[in-house]
Chains A and B, each alone.
Chain A
């Protein structure tokens, strides 16, 4: 069992994460301070929660990059309702999640029923959602939160040496919860396993009686649901709602999930890998700030990490494919390899 783990991509990523942490801790002692780590978790919540949702879509064999626009819409409408219509915590969460789920399912429908390339659909939908949101909101920020909002779901769990409280807040809870739920969905539910099977070989899934449209709706819907939750968590962190600030970060989320081992072809990717992917990118960003690297350069480094990461994964896959075709050794197989997914 352990031996199998050592050969996986996740293990290598774990090593990378540990190495990074060690380097940064040496470079800046503030890095390992509990307060910094808690802040790091809270700041990573948005991207992390979205990553856990996106993982499900990638595992299903599709891709969606419109979820930041979905999140923006869910956030705007829900907070508006909370502030002006007096909707309570449960209502706000419900609104955000329902909007997110419905918008996600719309993408699924377009991709499945119209059989369009999922990347093009999501680029188009991203712009439709974003354009309409900016149109109707006039780009206006919302600063007036309901009273219960800023401190919802936070508990003090300790005190720092300098007297500041350690807070377990909605961000951290959201982050942990979304990874836990995703893990549960993908590993313990029949639906989750059907999703993984679909990503591995769509035609076989159909023949075994799994329904691709239904599974797509569930996967994209789950991503939308997560986007709704993540948007509220982010709104609380920022103490405001800005309609155009979330869009643009979708590629960071995709980068994290892909770094974690998910494949665009479908059927691959684990929650552990995604957590590590998110962690590596977040640690790097945080580390740069602490070391004093200009934030202008941090994006460049992240881009290089992405390039490096996909290059390494590409090499790993190539080696695997060569090994497999030797093992199979037959002209029929070299022509008819078992592949799945859409991309």
Chain B
């Protein structure tokens, strides 16, 4: 009886934070203090907060895409390329349709971009789930091909000049809140629910660590992986649209250095790089931490290349700490219990 009650009690405290999230919030608080001391109030002026709020969503959505594939035990190297190509596709569609049908062309153009993304996701999924290709290689191939298509079509240039409806995606606000932030929320909430409470969420996590087990339990891992990579591509496309809105241009080579940051955000947020474990809350907090550091570095005038090196170092330290904790921590010693 008492066992049932303790479980029920746990579930009722819905906002219980896991250790990673707690650690990250502490880190966030510490950074806020440190940066305020160094930079004064400038860091939290309305302008600075707004600029953080504008930049965060595209990173966040890309990081969520990366998180999905990491959870499933893989890695999607093609997310940036997919984001760019989806944007380029939508851009060309806009230029073709707007003169004829006005703003009605916007949703069609975006749909075209999403369609391309779904196709890319399917190619990845089929390579990985059906043909058994390693996710690194499969997404490497698609990344190269997709970027190549983008370059070929644009001849290395950019496509720019979109109607206000599109730039609103990246720069618009609703009651002072950036619209892109609302898009992020509209994605993060259902995605979080899916991962935490739906069967698919459990299956994704288990595919990452114990693919054979769930196959023997009647789950089609093929379908799970296909869904993961298509979803990842669709999220990338949405991020691409936001970037397109923000810069009022679509560029096939944009943002290649983002790949590291998305992996960093996921790993920092508690996602196990080998798959199976992690949640959205942790990744979102990690993204806020990284965005804060990035803005602070900017204000401090730090060389962007130094920032890059620091991201790399942080990833090593975070992943290394995670493993050290795992080895010294609970699970191995509990496993040694015998009958």
A positions within 8 Å CB-CB of B: 63, 110, 114-117, 119-121, 123-132, 134-135, 248, 251, 254-255, 258, 264-265, 294, 296-304, 306-307, 309-311, 313-315, 317-318, 343
Contacts and interface: CB of A to CB of B under 8 A. Distances in A.
Given A310-B137, A310-B138, A124 B312 contact: yes
Interface string B306-327: 1111111101100110011001
B123 interface: yes
B312 A128 contact: yes
A302 B148 contact: yes
B273 A314 contact: no
Contact of A314 (B131, B147, B151, B260): B131
Contacts of B138: 307, 310
B145 interface: yes
Interface of B: 75, 123, 127, 131-134, 136-138, 140-149, 151-152, 154-156, 256-257, 259-260, 263, 267, 273-274, 303, 305-313, 315-316, 319-320, 323-324, 327
B132 A317 contact: yes
Given A114-B320, A254-B140, A310-B141, 14 more contacts: A63-B136, A116-B316, A124-B260, A127-B260, A129-B309, A134-B305, A135-B309, A265-B134, A299-B144, A300-B144, A302-B144, A303-B143, A307-B138, A314-B132
Contacts of B311: 124, 127, 131
A135 B303 contact: yes
A297 B252 CA distance: 13
A299 B137 CA distance: 16
23 contacts: A114-B324, A115-B323, A117-B274, A117-B319, A120-B263, A123-B312, A124-B315, A125-B316, A127-B308, A127-B309, A127-B311, A128-B308, A296-B152, A298-B148, A299-B148, A300-B144, A302-B148, A303-B145, A306-B141, A307-B145, A311-B127, A314-B132, A318-B131
B273 A120 contact: yes
Given A116-B319, A117-B274, A117-B319, A311 B131 contact: yes
Contacts of B146: 303
Contacts of B147: 299-300, 303
A307 B257 CA distance: 23
Task: Give the most central of B137, B257, B259, B308: most A CB within 10 Å.
Answer: B137
Contacts, number: 159
A131 B309 contact: yes
A299 B144 CA distance: 7
A135 B306 contact: yes
A123 B305 contact: no
A307 B324 CA distance: 36
B140 A251 contact: yes
A265 B137 CA distance: 11
Given A128-B309, A255-B140, A299-B147, A123 B260 contact: yes
Contacts of A309: 141
B140 A126 contact: no
Contacts of A298: 148
A248 B80 CA distance: 14
B215 to A, nearest CB: 12
| Interchain residue pairs A-B with the least CB separation, the first 10 | A303-B145, A300-B148, A131-B309, A303-B144, A299-B148, A314-B131, A131-B308, A128-B312, A127-B312, A134-B305
Nearest to A300: B148
A310 B127 contact: yes
A131 B312 contact: yes
A124 B145 contact: no
Nearest to A243: B305
Contact of B315 (A120, A132, A258, A300): A120
Contact of A306 (B134, B145, B263, B274): B145
Contacts of B141: 255, 303, 306-307, 309-310
B148 A116 contact: no
B85 to A, nearest CB: 11
A123 B75 CA distance: 12
A36 to B, nearest CB: 24
Nearest to A136: B305
Task: Give the most central of A131, A254, A298, A301: most B CB within 10 Å.
Answer: A131
